[in-house]
Structure 1
Amino acid sequence: MLKGINPYTQEEIYSFKSITSAEVNHKIEAAQNVFKTWRRTSFNERASLMLQLSNHLKKNATDLASIITKEIGKPISQSIAEIEKCAWVCEYYAENAEVQLQQKNITTDAQSSYVSYEPLGVILAVMPWNYPFWQVFRFLAPNLMAGNVGLLKHASNVQLSARAIEECLRLVGFPESCFQNLQISSQKVEEAIKHQHVKAVTLTGSEKAGQAVASQAGQALKKSVLELGGNNALVVFDDCNLEATVKTCVQARFQNNGQSCIAGKRLLIQDSIYDDFIAELITQVKDLKEGHPQGTDTYISVMAREDLAEELEEQLNTSVIKGAKIRLGGKRNQAFFEPCLVENVTSEMPIFQEETFGPVLAITRFSKANEAVELVNGSKFGLGVSVFTENDKLINDLIPQFEDGAVFVNELVKSDPRLPFGGTKRSGYGRELSDEGILEFVNKKTVYIK
């Protein structure tokens, strides 16, 4: 049984039965059948549908955003921004997929030799709840434009979002079964991966989920792409624009109630500006508007589930026992967790070592650049790092030293359809978005004509 609970009211909003194994097989067979025709459609046909989908999202942004807010408590303004970003990724691939997948001619001894990029077939996406539309659309848009078809196994607490996405595609005219929601629990994912018509799988989620899916895909000799947890650092040097840097750091940590893999979770501040930075940080965090997630000016509301807030509380309390000091906030009331600033954080504490999926910011001092690099790289994760400085030479020296999948300078780490997105180490492998993302699930076919 898949249940959805409104985290703000604690009311049950749905209770759905999982579909049976026979129904899963039927949907996969239907996907394979439509793939045979979808793969032969022109880029113009696919792009036309994708642009219609983008327009549909923009026209219905408020209604679709309300589903997100009801299911996970995300403030409505941020939910609307999520829908608008989904429209953007549809437009991006509608406009760029044909060029990204064009034949690559290579000069050899042959009369003609080239690489063509052809769709693989049915691709399974296992997606999380924290960005219930965006996570899906950044898979959906490139893969449908590449000629693949999609199956979605969404998180159990965002099934209304999953159904809404499927309905959006139906309403704008995508072929039946081109993209389908599999209303199943995690226990049935392996069945889908093993099916002969499922050619690959992508997952965004926890380390544990990634290990399970990667193992199952490996056993079935099928490609997988994983985007897992993150423990991003925000590295603040003493020559930064202080007020602007604080504003960016606050957004990086506390948007979506802190529930983002690429959130800035570890704040590293250079000694010489530490006190001034903390003072401005406290002021800006106190100014964040807390309230009902449907409030248009609300920035902080409830976390998606009470058990997630309890887990965050445990990480915080254990760190305090080890010597961390709560400077602001940190109280929990059911699924609501006060925005929290924690000082004296050292590398052996849970809030430094582990991913904290909620509004807690772990703060550590450093004195020199090499110390900052060691702190950044001293994480098992490698999704992204933000560096704040006006020193161009320092930046150019530091960028090659970071082990993460992305380095953002004077900006928070964020996903952008034009840029590849993904991590290293325990943050997963493979890339989404840009031309790198659309090439993950295609057959790169070598052709040699003597």
Structure 2
Amino acid sequence: MPIATVNPANGETLKTYEAMDEQEIERRLQLAEATFRTYRTTTFDERARLLHRAADLLEEDQQDIARVMTTEMGKPVQQARAEAAKCAKAMRWYADHAEELLADEEPSASDVKDSGASHVRVRYRPLGPVLAVMPWNFPLWQVIRFAAPALMAGNVGLLKHASNVPQTALYLEDLFHRAGFTEGTFQTLLIGSGAVDEILRDERVKAATLTGSEPAGRAVASTAGEMIKKTVLELGGSDPFVVMPSADIDRAAKVAVTARVQNNGQSCIAAKRFIVHTDVYDAFAERFTAGMKALKVGDPMADDTEVGPLASEQGLRDLEELVDDAVRSGAQVLCGGERPDGPGWYYTPSILAGVTREMRIHREEAFGPVATLYRAADLDEAVLIANDSPFGLSSNVWTRDEAEVDRFVRDLEAGGVFFNGMTASHPAFPFGGVKRSGYGRELSGHGIREFCNITTVWHGA
């Protein structure tokens, strides 16, 4: 894939970039290693001051960078502005909390005495240069939720961003430099995916984090495993959205629309499989379908647009193939199910009912504004359908029954269970999945400690 900005609203190539050559990559690796030797000794106060400054600059740039993101990957511009604001919030949260999250831990006095020590503490120390392989769908947020904790922990970052968001990638490097971070603290590598393996094998790179597809995750995990390097993977998701009879059906249906089409349906944590108890299935389906039909699809630069184009032509083809396969196998189209006329990589918000296990869309992630609707006879069947997926990122459940809440928390195979609301990420709470959705956690104290050397410091009596 060329490194280029291609406007998904009309298919026009606006800017292309040459990939960095081996000499430039080597220069940047040397710079990262040298910078880490000094940056690791900075104080939390020094790092926090710089990160707060980066947040201030991002807020000043909010309008401009939002338009860049929308131009590069098609998200509605009001959602792009919200993404920039969320990133600034996360940077401030880590600037304010990192020292507390990474404070030395003191084991119990009895355990210290039993070990024969006079004093023991656990210290969190940075690892070094961390390679981040990031996707295009949240081109700022995916990077910041890695960069903010990594930099506050004393690591330095090397970003390999998706090839279709090069302007956003370069903006991020510039943002940290303008904030006062030294040149090698955060660097963008304009490279293709084929260059990742060799960089990850380099001894100067100590760990890697990847958000993206299953194949990309396998490739990075395989190399990192061979080189015995720490990784965090956040891969695909096909999150269930379960609606039980005690739910507020009107509200559930309204939130379901947003949960499915946020970011033009291109979100790992978007609800994709809607599993509805038979007692309220018809009422929910009617409201959900009406809500999807009412969405305004159009120019992503317009403030009233709710659904813009998919980010790439290949992504549009992949989504069409999933829908066509399901329809050929007997799925019913309640709305949408087609590409609208005109330029750009648009797909009409769609709902498919009557989906069976044999259909590809039941097993694979639909990365676009297409929902699948299932009828469940009871709670047991709802749990079975929800867990019948290779993914386990997050989940949504609508119920007012506390016994049902306990059951879903116990039995759903996911990294998160959100009740009576839409899955969302927040810097204070851990984020990540199980099964083929990956491993490790981002955000919160769990996220900042992923790329730390957890060191036991023991003093003899």
TM range, smaller chain: over 0.9
Q: Deviations over 1:157-210 (max 9, x none)?
A: 001100011111111111111100000000000111111110000000000000
| Corresponding residue number in structure 1 for 2:368 | 358
Alpha-carbon RMSD: 0.9
Give the Cα–Cα distance (whole angstroms) in 1 for the partners of residues 175 and 425 of structure 2.
Answer: 23
Q: Deviations over 1:275-327 (max 9, x none)?
A: 11111112211221221100011111111011101110000110111110111
Amino acid at match of 1:12: T
- State the Cα distance separating 1:224 from its structure 2 match: 0.8
Q: Answer yes or no: is the 8 Å Cα contact 1:307–1:335 preserved in 2.
A: no
Amino acid at match of 1:165: L
| Corresponding residue number in structure 2 for 1:56 | 57
| Corresponding residue number in structure 1 for 2:325 | 318
Question: Is 1:373 the counterpart of 2:388 in the alignment?
Answer: no
Give the Cα–Cα distance (whole angstroms) in 2 for the partners of residues 126 and 111 of structure 1.
Answer: 44
Following superposition of structure 1 onto structure 2, how do residues 91-110 of structure 1 map, counting pairs within 5 Å? Answer: 91-106=92-107, 107=109, 108=112, 109-110=116-117
Q: Deviations over 1:133-179 (max 9, x none)?
A: 00000000000000000000000000110001111111111111110
Q: Deviations over 1:52-109 (max 9, x none)?
A: 1111111211111111000011100000011011001101100100000011112313
Q: Answer yes or no: is the 8 Å Cα contact 2:10–2:345 preserved in 1.
A: no
Q: Answer yes or no: is the 8 Å Cα contact 1:419–1:434 preserved in 2.
A: yes
| Corresponding residue number in structure 2 for 1:204 | 211
Question: Is 1:424 the counterpart of 2:434 in the alignment?
Answer: yes
Ranges in structure 1 where 5+ consecutive residues have no aligned partner: none
Amino acid at match of 1:339: P
Amino acid at match of 2:135: P
**Aligned partner (choices 384, 390, 408) of residue 400 of structure 2:** 390
The share of aligned pairs that are identical, in percent, is 43
Give the Cα–Cα distance (whole angstroms) in 2 for the partners of residues 88 and 192 of structure 1.
Answer: 31
Question: Is 1:400 the counterpart of 2:419 in the alignment?
Answer: no
Give the Cα–Cα distance (whole angstroms) in 2 for the partners of residues 423 and 252 of structure 1.
Answer: 18
Q: Answer yes or no: is the 8 Å Cα contact 1:420–1:432 preserved in 2.
A: yes
**Aligned partner (choices 227, 232, 253) of residue 260 of structure 2:** 253
Give the Cα–Cα distance (whole angstroms) in 2 for the partners of residues 322 and 284 of structure 1.
Answer: 26
Secondary structure of the 1:156 match is coil
| Corresponding residue number in structure 1 for 2:225 | 218
Amino acid at match of 2:241: L
Question: Is 1:187 the counterpart of 2:200 in the alignment?
Answer: no
Give the Cα–Cα distance (whole angstroms) in 1 for the partners of residues 128 and 451 of structure 2.
Answer: 9
| Corresponding residue number in structure 2 for 1:413 | 423
Give the Cα–Cα distance (whole angstroms) in 1 for the partners of residues 421 and 361 of structure 2.
Answer: 22
Secondary structure of the 1:346 match is coil
| Corresponding residue number in structure 2 for 1:234 | 241
Give the Cα–Cα distance (whole angstroms) in 1 for the partners of residues 297 and 436 of structure 2.
Answer: 33
Amino acid at match of 2:394: G
- State the Cα distance separating 1:256 from its structure 2 match: 0.6
- State the Cα distance separating 1:387 from its structure 2 match: 0.2
Q: Which runs of 4+ in 1 moved over 6 A?
A: none
Q: Answer yes or no: is the 8 Å Cα contact 1:2–1:16 preserved in 2.
A: yes
Give the Cα–Cα distance (whole angstroms) in 1 for the partners of residues 413 and 294 of structure 2.
Answer: 34
Give the Cα–Cα distance (whole angstroms) in 2 for the partners of residues 350 and 71 of structure 1.
Answer: 29
| Corresponding residue number in structure 2 for 1:76 | 77
TM-score (norm: length of structure 2): 0.96
Larger deviation: 323-332 or 119-128? 323-332
| Corresponding residue number in structure 1 for 2:180 | 173
Give the Cα–Cα distance (whole angstroms) in 2 for the partners of residues 241 and 59 of structure 1.
Answer: 40
Q: Answer yes or no: is the 8 Å Cα contact 1:245–1:388 preserved in 2.
A: yes
Secondary structure of the 1:281 match is helix
| Corresponding residue number in structure 1 for 2:8 | 7
Q: Answer yes or no: is the 8 Å Cα contact 2:161–2:169 preserved in 1.
A: yes
Amino acid at match of 1:343: A
| Corresponding residue number in structure 2 for 1:278 | 285
Give the Cα–Cα distance (whole angstroms) in 2 for the partners of residues 282 and 172 of structure 1.
Answer: 47
- State the Cα distance separating 1:122 from its structure 2 match: 0.3
Amino acid at match of 1:3: A
Larger deviation: 280-289 or 89-98? 280-289
| Corresponding residue number in structure 2 for 1:448 | 458
**Aligned partner (choices 335, 340, 349) of residue 350 of structure 2:** 340
Ranges in structure 2 where 5+ consecutive residues have no aligned partner: none
Secondary structure of the 2:308 match is coil
Secondary structure of the 2:164 match is helix
| Corresponding residue number in structure 2 for 1:299 | 306
- State the Cα distance separating 1:9 from its structure 2 match: 1.9
Q: Answer yes or no: is the 8 Å Cα contact 1:114–1:447 preserved in 2.
A: yes
Secondary structure of the 1:79 match is helix
Give the Cα–Cα distance (whole angstroms) in 1 for the partners of residues 382 and 329 of structure 2.
Answer: 22
The number of equivalent residue pairs is 450
- State the Cα distance separating 1:229 from its structure 2 match: 0.4
**Aligned partner (choices 267, 275, 279) of residue 268 of structure 1:** 275
Q: Answer yes or no: is the 8 Å Cα contact 1:254–1:300 preserved in 2.
A: yes
Secondary structure of the 2:455 match is strand
Give the Cα–Cα distance (whole angstroms) in 2 for the partners of residues 417 and 137 of structure 1.
Answer: 10
Give the Cα–Cα distance (whole angstroms) in 1 for the partners of residues 179 and 414 of structure 2.
Answer: 39
Q: Answer yes or no: is the 8 Å Cα contact 1:2–1:185 preserved in 2.
A: yes
Secondary structure of the 1:104 match is coil
| Corresponding residue number in structure 1 for 2:159 | 152
Q: Answer yes or no: is the 8 Å Cα contact 2:77–2:302 preserved in 1.
A: yes
